[in-house]
Structure 1
Amino acid sequence: MTAAPDPTTNVAVELAQLRGEIHTGLEQIKGTLGVLVERTNRTDADVRQLRADMDKEIEDLQNQINELNKGRWPLAQIGALAAVAGVVAAVIALFLT
């Protein structure tokens, strides 16, 4: 007659295997989380760099706009002066003829 297997041994073996699988799964999760944290840090650094670059580009564009505005002719004032000069010339021509 063969001896019946000890049920406590089977339970202990199964528990050991389960612990190993859980440990392996947790290590995989930790590794994945580490990769995600690294990607997040890299993304944050990239966003900070892009923001700094965009701020610099915006500042350069604002400086260019200011320079263009300084060199712009005051067309409205020139138009008003030309209109006044035309009226004066018409009035002078009216009185001299």
Structure 2
Amino acid sequence: MTVPEASATVAVELERLRGTVSTGFAEVKGSLSVLVERSDRNERDLQQLRQDTEKDLGDLRTDVEALKRNRWPLAAIGALTGIAGSVAGLLALFIR
């Protein structure tokens, strides 16, 4: 092999290597683009989920407050029932 043939062979191999490296970088760049797009989509989905959750929690808080306002005063009803029972017992005792 003479020097010009050797340098031509080296040049061909370097060009082949450059093509292989370029192809590898293109594949990596494409994969990174896909990952960035997925990350952006996941971030948007997470932000939307947070907004929906906050809205639902706000609605739930409103419903709970409405239930608290409209609940029956069980302690007062229990006390009135006890007093009414005592009065009925006393009336029954004195009427005899």
TM bracket, shorter-chain basis: 0.7 to 0.9
TM-score normalised over the length of structure 1: 0.84
1:73 counterpart SS class: coil
Q: Tell me what 2:80 maps to.
A: 81
1:32 aligned residue: 31
Aligned length: 94
Partner in structure 1 of residue 22 of structure 2: 23
1:13 aligns with 2:12: yes
Q: Over aligned residue pairs, what C-alpha RMSD do you find?
A: 1.6
Instruction: Please give the alpha-carbon distance, in whole angstroms, between the structure 2 residues aligned to 1:29 and 1:80.
Output: 76
Greater share of helix: 2
Percent same amino acid among aligned pairs? 47
Residue matched to 1:60? 59
CA distance in 2, matches of 1:66, 1:79: 23
- Find runs of 4+ consecutive structure 1 residues off by over 2 angstroms: none
Tell me the distance in 2 between the aligned counterparts of 1:80 and 1:21: 89
